[in-house]
Amino acid sequence: MVSVPCRTDNKVWEVRMTREKLGFRANRLAVGAVTSVSLMGLAVPTLAQDNVAATSDNQGTPIVVTGSRIARDGTNAPTPVTMVGDELLEQRAATNVADTLNELPLFRPLVTPATQQAVGGNVGASVLDLRGLGGERTLVLLDGKRFVPSTQRGTVDINLIPTALVSRTEIVTGGASAAYGSDAVAGVVNFILDRDFVGLRGTAQFGIAEEGDNEEYFGSLAWGTDFADGRGHFMIAGEYNKNEGMGDCYTRDWCPNEMQLPGGGPGYATTVRGGPAQLGWWGPDGLVSGGPAGGPFQGTTFNPDGSLRQFQYGESLAGGVTSILNLGGEDSLYNGLLTDTLLIPEVERYTIYAHASYELSDTINASLDASYGRVNGLVKGSPPRAAYTIQRDNAFLPDGLADLMDANDVGSVSLWRVYQQEGPFPDGHGNAVDETQNETFRIVAGLEGSIGTNWDWDAYYQYGNNDFRQDYRNNYVNSRGVLAVDAVNTADGVQCRVNTDGNAANDVPGCVPLNPFGRGNVSSAAADWVFADGFQTAETDQHVVAANIRGDLLELPGGTLAIAGGGEFRSDSMTGDADALSAANAFWSFNGKAIEGKIEVVEGYLEAVAPIIADVPGVSLLELNGAIRQTHYSRSSQAVGDSSVDATTWKLGGIYAPVDWLRFRVTRSRDIRAPNLTELFGPVTLGRTTVVDPRDGSQIQINGFQGANPQLAPEKADTWTIGAVFTPDISFGRRLSFSVDYFDISIDDAIGSLGAQTIVDLCNGGNDALCAQVTRNSDGLLTEVQDVLLNIAQQDTRGIDFELAYSSNDGPMGSVDARLLATHYLELTVGGVDRVGQTGARPGTTPGVPDWLVDGTVRWNLDRLTAGLHAQYIPESIWETLFVGPSQPGFDIDAPNSVNDNTIDSAFVLDFNLAYQVTDEVEVFGVINNVFDSDPPYAASAQGATTQVYYDPIGRYYKVGVRIRLP
């Protein structure tokens, strides 16, 4: 073993790097940190940098740094690589490594439990999204190998990664398709496990919000041992995590205070951010003529006994009688869009992982890895809303309404109803409950070894299976509701009209009449028929066979020319089913579909690293790096047919260090991402979404279709990165480093969905191709938008990453480690719209990224005590890029894109952590997140008054726990 002195908790410990045993280079990833990459966990300061490099050079220990297949010490990586050590996870008391990664400026936390309020699919999933380019463009690896797709979008749910044994995480923030294949357009996240762990360690912790919700329980246990006189090693780890979730919008006093309201009336912008607001068209007791037209029945609603009363409207800012949303008024503090929709869903997670390795001979090592993970989630959909035509002979028609209809000689009226719960809803029905279960099993059998003294090889077979099931209960069936409400009196009692017209061909067996007038009047039998259950299943199988070889080819003036090459076969297949009602898009929400498809991939690659010059005046190092990969995709589906695609990816990079403390690096790459199974062959589902019609500024609800498109082509990306790393020797500390890297990623034929609102806006602006996705009725009213996946032409992102890190020397007051990371986005263009500076998430639009994201950590170590601060800052941002507010040039209150306020306040959140080493084996710790209990800034979204992509909805949050470590 080679021991490198590093520091943590004010003690010298050993980063143990596995050398070759009995003469061969075992290509095992180092447990210790390789520094030259950006050190964010601060578990291993750069003091170890020169030592690691020397160890690698002198002892022959191969260290594979993510972004390259060639073993190297990391000091010369041309592509920026950021490392997160396991100590940062402990400092943040993270129950899931994704929670910590999503705090970093490199990521846009678009798919997390906090952003999945009323969304079906993988409830509780945590997906990594580098550069705001979408989780599909971030390749996730486990010890350098692909992880089986585990979400309905073909991405990886990080919940299923065995966090308990993650030693470090390496993040390549640039294209890496030539090294690793498809999906690495934005970069690679490689979770590296502590494969040499020996002993026993465990963690137990509990968390709770100051408001008394979002309770979280977490426990993990890991054990490792050597056997057969050290030739073999075995370890196993398991963890359990349960989060009880938050309540609805009304559990936080800030949440009901802002929504997106339709304006356009005298003195109002076309769109208004304000609140609290009421549903102006739908009433929880039924609302007659609840639409925008007005009329003699406007505002007629009902008491539980069916008697009439006048609905108390709020102010319509659109200048009409009423709007889809009004400011204030009855039920504004119990809005049917927000009631009982959880701010954070309930999530429960189990993972177990086991690893065994054995040295078969002096030159061959065998290993076997097996893991299982399961995530259970629960989310509630928004309360269903319906509009009914009520005939004069309706069996449930209250006498008062009948008299009004007779007096006005009206044969029918419109009744608008929202079926929201109210502590609990008297009818026992309202929000649909969606429960998901996502299970992943993965096994990897591998061999690795050496040929002579300069060549290593490895080969493995991997099988992965993901089994997803979604069950939605209490889901409103649109057509059944219409039939049940249209009831008439017959000699045999009240019946559905459709069964009394004498035409047996259109009878609907089982139809039960439903009384929509006043809460508490829906019978159990009617509710059981109108509100039904459904399901969606999806099973993914992945087979991978791969082999790699790497070694030294010849000597160059600057060192050894190293090459790596290999090939891979991968087969991904998916099948799934859904209930008949879902298949017909019959439900109000959560409609599933049958799925079937297969993709087979054959590819090979070659990579080389050439140190041209080293250790001469003016050149400490000049090195070139290049890689090329050829890939063939075969795609098949019984419903769609067969197709194939070929792609070539490549990368060129270089390092120039004029002196040993200053390095410049640059890469240029061509990357690709082929559409995955779900994008090609997955379901197209129906949902309801709210859009603003740019023709007249009216805000309406429409049918929105989202999902797969079998005609998708691969997307192609051109990536540039250029940067510098400054690491001077200093007398006042152990380490000081600063890095700056510019990135530019341009994607052609980018696969994505624009959002219903964006499609409507761009169509209105003259994009005729997108107008094919928009449907209007004969009166010109919007009725439907096809927001399926498309090759949406161009997607571009540019920005600059900064990192400053410092570690002090030990003194009487201990030592201090600090680091500051920031990303300055210059562009994020999707579908022709630049979303930089936008942190708002208006329904039906594409999310953006802030101009700046800043994250900082300070840690103080004193003997057995460790204390730390963590802070995040987002400057003032824009609510919607396509809108113009009073503070912006070109504002016109009468323009269809005007808004009363297009800014979002800056946000600063401070967290505090403390840990004490009671004994060498036991540590207690505590964390306070959001120390100042700061409310999120107002940013009207489908989630209420803020967007939970970037802003914390929980408030002050406490975590306490204990860790044990036994040799």
With beta carbons less than 8 A apart as the criterion, state whether 346 and 433 touch: no
With beta carbons less than 8 A apart as the criterion, state whether 951 and 941 touch: no
Range with the lowest mean pLDDT among 117-126, 306-315, 609-618, 890-899?
A: 117-126
Cβ contacts of residue 255 below 8 Å, gap of 6+? 249, 338, 343, 944, 945, 946, 953
Q: How big is the CA angle at 695 (ends 690 and 700), to the nearest 5 degrees? A: 20
Over residues 449-457, mean pLDDT: 92
Give the pLDDT band of residue 72 (cuts 50, 70, 90): low
Enter the tokens of residue 744.
Answer: 């530019």
With beta carbons less than 8 A apart as the criterion, state whether 328 and 276 touch: yes
5: in domain: no
SS3 196: coil
SS3 905: coil
With beta carbons less than 8 A apart as the criterion, state whether 349 and 240 touch: yes
Q: pLDDT value at position 291?
A: 63
Q: Is the pLDDT of residue 459 over 70?
A: yes
Over residues 2-18, mean pLDDT: 31
Mean pLDDT of the residues in the chain: 86
Q: How far is CA 884 from CA 829, 887, 893, 900, 901, in A?
A: 18, 8, 9, 9, 8
Over residues 36-62, mean pLDDT: 34
276: in domain: no
Give the pLDDT band of residue 270 (cuts 50, 70, 90): very high
pLDDT digits (tens, 9 = 90+) for 736-789: 999 999 999 999 988 877 788 888 988 988 888 889 889 998 888 898 898 888
Cβ contacts of residue 372 below 8 Å, gap of 6+? 350, 351, 352, 353, 439, 440, 441, 442
Which 8-state DSSP code applies to residue 256? G
Considering only residues 140 and 15, tell me which one the structure prediction assigns the higher pLDDT.
140
CATH number (domain holding residue 702): 2.40.170.20
Q: Is the pLDDT of residue 652 over 80?
A: yes
118: in domain: yes
Identify each DSSP E strand in 729-807 by its residue range: 735-748, 751-752, 774-776, 782-786, 790-791, 794-807
**In whole angstroms, what separates CA 217 from the centre of its chain?**
22
pLDDT digits (tens, 9 = 90+) for 277-300: 998 888 889 999 766 666 788 899
302: in domain: no
- The terminus-to-terminus CA distance of the chain in angstroms comes to 17
563: in domain: yes
With beta carbons less than 8 A apart as the criterion, state whether 185 and 175 touch: yes
Enter the tokens of residue 819.
Answer: 């680091």
Distance CA 411, CA 833 (A): 49
Q: pLDDT value at position 34?
A: 30
Buried b / exposed e over 907-926, threshold 16 CB at 10 Å, is: bebbbebebebeeeeebebe
* Phi and psi based region of residue 312 (left: phi greater than 0; alpha: psi -120 to 50; beta: remaining): beta
Exposed (0-12), middle (13-18) or buried (19+): which is 175, by Cβ within 10 Å?
Answer: buried
Range with the lowest mean pLDDT among 163-167, 380-384, 618-622?
A: 380-384
Distance CA 439, CA 466 (A): 6
Q: pLDDT value at position 429?
A: 59
Over residues 723-746, mean pLDDT: 90
* DSSP conformation letters of 262-313: E--STT--SEEEE-SEEESS-BTT-EET-STT--TTTTEEE-TTS-EEE---
Distance CA 880, CA 408 (A): 45
Distance CA 112, CA 157 (A): 10
For residue 139, give the H/E element and its range.
Answer: strand 138-142
- Domain span holding position 122: 17-248+345-380+436-472+536-966
Q: pLDDT value at position 350?
A: 93
294: in domain: no
Distance CA 416, CA 414 (A): 7
**Cα Rg of the chain, angstroms:** 30
With beta carbons less than 8 A apart as the criterion, state whether 459 and 367 touch: no
Phi and psi torsions of 910, nearest 5°: -115, 135
Over residues 417-423, mean pLDDT: 70
Q: pLDDT value at position 152?
A: 78
Give the pLDDT band of residue 25 (cuts 50, 70, 90): very low
Which 8-state DSSP code applies to residue 320? S
Over residues 7-16, mean pLDDT: 30
Place of tokens 């090759």: 791
With beta carbons less than 8 A apart as the criterion, state whether 127 and 101 touch: no
With beta carbons less than 8 A apart as the criterion, state whether 309 and 302 touch: yes
Distance CA 34, CA 68 (A): 14
Give me the percent of the chain exceeding a pLDDT of 70. Answer: 90
Q: Is the pLDDT of residue 14 over 60?
A: no
295: in domain: no
With beta carbons less than 8 A apart as the criterion, state whether 416 and 291 touch: yes
Enter the tokens of residue 926.
Answer: 């505590």
Side chain identity at residue 871, one-letter code: A
pLDDT digits (tens, 9 = 90+) for 207-225: 999 999 999 999 999 999 9
Over residues 826-850, mean pLDDT: 88
Distance CA 538, CA 681 (A): 12
pLDDT digits (tens, 9 = 90+) for 303-315: 989 999 999 999 9
Q: Is the pLDDT of residue 62 over 70?
A: no
Considering only residues 175 and 319, tell me which one the structure prediction assigns the higher pLDDT.
319
Which 8-state DSSP code applies to residue 396? T
Domain count, the chain: 1
Place of tokens 């107008």: 771
Range with the lowest mean pLDDT among 119-123, 453-457, 616-620?
A: 119-123
**In whole angstroms, what separates CA 44 from the centre of its chain?**
29
656: in domain: yes
Q: How far is CA 560 from CA 272, 458, 556, 605, 615, in A?
A: 65, 21, 6, 20, 14
